[in-house]
Amino acid sequence: MRGAAMHVTVIVLTIIMLAALGVIAFIGMRVAGQQASTGESKMFLEECLRWYTRRCETQGLAEIDAELIRTEKTMLCDYQSSSKICSSGTMCANLFPQISGSSITNFERCQDVCANKCNPLVGPDLSVTDMDISFQVTATKKQDEKDIPTEWKAYIKIWNIGSATAENIAYEVWKGADIVKSGSITKLRPCTVGGVCSNEIYVEHLDSREIMVHVDPENKIKEINEYNNVARPRIVSE
Which residue ranges of the chain lie beneath pLDDT 70? Answer: 1-98, 100-107, 111, 114-115, 117-120, 236-238
Phi then psi for 41, rounded to 5 degrees?
-60, -45
Residues 169 and 156: beta-carbon distance below 8 Å: no
**AA identity, residue 145:** E
pLDDT at 44: 46
Reported residue count of the chain is: 238
Map residue 137 onto helix, strand or coil: strand
pLDDT at 40: 45
Sketch out the chain's domains with CATH numbers.
Answer: 1-120 (no CATH), 126-231 (2.60.40.10)
Q: Would you call 153 exposed, middle or buried from its count of C-beta atoms within 10 A (0-12, 13-18, 19+)?
A: middle
Residues 112 and 161: beta-carbon distance below 8 Å: yes
pLDDT at 43: 52
CA neighbours closer than 13 Å in the CB half-sphere of residue 223: 24
pLDDT at 191: 84
